[in-house]
């Protein structure tokens, strides 16, 4: 009788999770790729054709985030200032995003050779 009682209880907790809707949180193409190897970081500006091959999609199911364009790797989200960073839980990579509504706040003014260069 205990087994029959536990089986319906198990289904009550599992069934709602299977019906959770996937929501696309971010979809875009990168303009910059940063490769990291130990203590060295190598930024690389991407051409449009190369960026199209690296399209990134992050989705949310329930309270969890997934890197949909990378085999649905689970991620966690961190926010700091104007940046939102999604980290793969297995340490395989991260995606840093500046959402349009805070992009101007993240703009920086840099001076090179006496001339102002506005970075976005």
Q: What is the spatial distance between Cα 35 and Cα 56, in angstroms, rounded to a whole number?
A: 16
Q: What is the spatial distance between Cα 120 and Cα 107, in angstroms, rounded to a whole number?
A: 5
Q: Please, which pLDDT band fits residue 40 given cuts at 50, 70 and 90?
A: confident
Q: Please, which pLDDT band fits residue 114 given cuts at 50, 70 and 90?
A: very low
Q: Are the C-beta atoms of residues 88 and 75 closer than 8 Å to each other?
A: yes
Per-residue pLDDT tens over the stretch 67-111: 999 999 999 999 988 889 999 999 998 898 886 677 666 555 444
By percentage, how much of the chain surpasses pLDDT 90?
28
Strands (E), the chain: 22-28, 32-37, 40-45, 56-61, 64-67, 73-80, 83-88, 94-98, 108-112, 115-119
Surface-to-core class of residue 68, CB atoms within 10 Å of its CB (0-12 exposed, 13-18 middle, 19+ buried): buried
Task: Give the 3-state secondary structure of residue 32.
Answer: strand
**pLDDT of the residue at 89:** 97
pTM more than 0.85? no
Task: Give the domain ranges of the chain.
Answer: 20-119
Per-residue pLDDT tens over the stretch 21-35: 889 999 988 888 888
Q: Are the C-beta atoms of residues 103 and 112 closer than 8 Å to each other?
A: no
Q: Which of 77, 74, 78 is nearest to 90 (CA)?
A: 74
């Amino acid at each position: 009788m205990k087994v029959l009682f536990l089986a319906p209880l198990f289904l009550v907790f599992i069934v709602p999770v299977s019906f959770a809707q996937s929501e696309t949180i971010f979809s875009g193409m990168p303009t910059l790729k940063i490769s990291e190897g130990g203590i060295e970081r190598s930024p690389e500006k991407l051409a449009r054709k190369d960026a199209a091959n690296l399209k990134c999609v992050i989705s949310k199911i329930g309270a969890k985030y997934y890197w949909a364009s990378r085999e649905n790797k689970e991620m966690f989200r961190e926010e700091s200032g104007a940046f939102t960073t999604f980290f793969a839980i297995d340490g395989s990579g991260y995606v840093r995003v500046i959402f349009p509504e805070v992009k101007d706040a993240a703009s920086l003014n840099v001076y090179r050779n006496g001339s102002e260069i506005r970075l976005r």
